[in-house]
């Protein structure tokens, strides 16, 4: 007699709705149980559907790492490029194809550690791209090494005695560099996150959302399992759109409040908008 375990699940109505935007033949996805990336995938797909922009014009670019795999599950034009380099790839695509809505979805290690130079310069130039930076405080895919967002004191695969470096405070950094839109949400805050993504699609210029997500690798090493982490996102969060970002650094292992919100909205014209004026001027009104 064969034994069966588990329950048979049928897709929820929410899943049915976004099915056209998923490469369902590639499911189940490769993320660990307890990872927050599946939630982001769902929320992002919903936002694309609700954006009013033809999904054919939405493009997702991602780098390497767990988050980097998101482009491969979305049935959109999707590009999974080099480690640290999705931002410049997206800049080239968006600059030469202004008709596209280009979103980078990648991890903290990819965008801020190896890719930190591109991150700061794309914000400074004010490139008209959307960036969803998933912060899980470590390099999950390679076994949990520390990176530029690992909070001091954390244990990781490569900081077994406790992490002695400082961490980037992402919204503070992006706001200081001049980003037109800066927000931070957790994967627990689905509705707020979706609203922020929809807002981001409307921004001309660099728009950033830091998405905080639990990671079982990081959780294991710091005695904070994903569910505990999600509880913390609920209990320790402070939603304050006008927060003093200099105090918005994170420590998910401690009791520090997790400051969330849509912090910055500016109207600085993007590189691409300004460049279109250069073309007009150089062509002296000629078309074609």
Partner 1 sequence: MAVSVNGGLIKPGVYFMRGNEAAVEGALIAGCRFFAGYPITPSNEISARMSRRLPEVGGYFIQMEDEIASIMAVIGAAVGGVKSMTATSGPGFSLMQEAIGLAAMIEAPIVVIDVQRGGPSTGLPTLVGQGDIMQAQWGSHGDYSVIAYLPNSPQEMFNLTIEAFNSAWKYRVPVIVLADQTVGQMIEKVVVPPLEEIEIFDRIKPDVPPEEYKPYDKRYLIPPMAVAGEGYRVHMTGLTHDERGYPTTRHEVSQWLVRRLVEKVQANEREIAKWEEYETEDAKLVVVAFGITSRSAKRAVREARNRGLKVGLYRPITAWPFPYWRLEELVSKGAKVLVVEINMGQMVHVVREYVGKENVEHMPWAPGAVPPPEVILDRILEVYPQ
Min dist. Cβ of residue 281 to partner 1 (A): 7
Min dist. Cβ of residue 56 to partner 1 (A): 4
**Based on CB atoms, which residue is closest to partner 1, 125 or 184?**
125
Min dist. Cβ of residue 118 to partner 1 (A): 5
Q: Which residues bind partner 1 (CB under 8 A)?
A: 23, 26, 56-57, 59, 61, 71-72, 75-82, 85, 87-97, 99-100, 117-118, 121, 271, 275, 278-279, 281-283, 286, 288
**Based on CB atoms, which residue is closest to partner 1, 56 or 255?**
56
Min dist. Cβ of residue 149 to partner 1 (A): 21
**Based on CB atoms, which residue is closest to partner 1, 72 or 152?**
72
Encode 67-80: b = buried (16+ Cβ within 10 Å), e = exposed: bbbbbebbbbbbbb
Min dist. Cβ of residue 22 to partner 1 (A): 11
**Based on CB atoms, which residue is closest to partner 1, 181 or 271?**
271
**Based on CB atoms, which residue is closest to partner 1, 49 or 82?**
82
């Amino acid at each position: 007699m064969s034994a069966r375990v588990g329950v048979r699940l049928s897709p929820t109505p929410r899943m049915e709705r976004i099915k056209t935007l998923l490469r369902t033949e590639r499911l189940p996805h490769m993320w660990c149980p307890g990872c927050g990336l599946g939630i982001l995938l769902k929320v992002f797909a919903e936002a694309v559907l609700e954006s009013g922009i033809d999904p054919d014009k939405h493009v997702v670019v991602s780098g390497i790492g767990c988050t980097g795999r998101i482009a491969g599950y979305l049935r959109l034009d999707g590009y999974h490029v080099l480690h640290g380099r999705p931002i410049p790839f997206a800049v080239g695509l968006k600059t030469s194809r202004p008709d596209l809505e280009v979103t980078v979805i990648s991890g903290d290690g990819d965008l801020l550690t190896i890719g930190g130079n591109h991150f700061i310069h794309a914000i400074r130039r004010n490139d008209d791209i959307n960036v969803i930076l998933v912060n899980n405080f470590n390099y999950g895919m390679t076994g949990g090494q520390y990176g530029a967002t690992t909070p001091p004191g954390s244990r990781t695969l490569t900081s077994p005695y406790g992490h002695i470096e400082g961490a980037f405070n992402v919204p503070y950094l992006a706001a200081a560099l001049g980003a037109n839109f800066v927000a931070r949400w957790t994967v627990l805050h689905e509705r707020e996150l979706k609203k922020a993504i929809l807002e981001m699609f409307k921004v001309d210029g660099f728009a950033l959302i830091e998405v905080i997500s639990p990671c079982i690798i990081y959780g294991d090493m710091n005695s904070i399992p994903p569910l505990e982490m999600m509880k913390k996102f609920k209990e320790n969060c402070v939603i304050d759109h006008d927060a003093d970002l200099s105090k918005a650094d994170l420590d998910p292992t401690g009791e520090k409040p997790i400051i969330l919100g849509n912090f910055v909205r500016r109207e600085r014209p993007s590189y691409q908008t300004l460049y279109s004026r250069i073309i007009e001027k150089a062509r002296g009104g000629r078309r074609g």
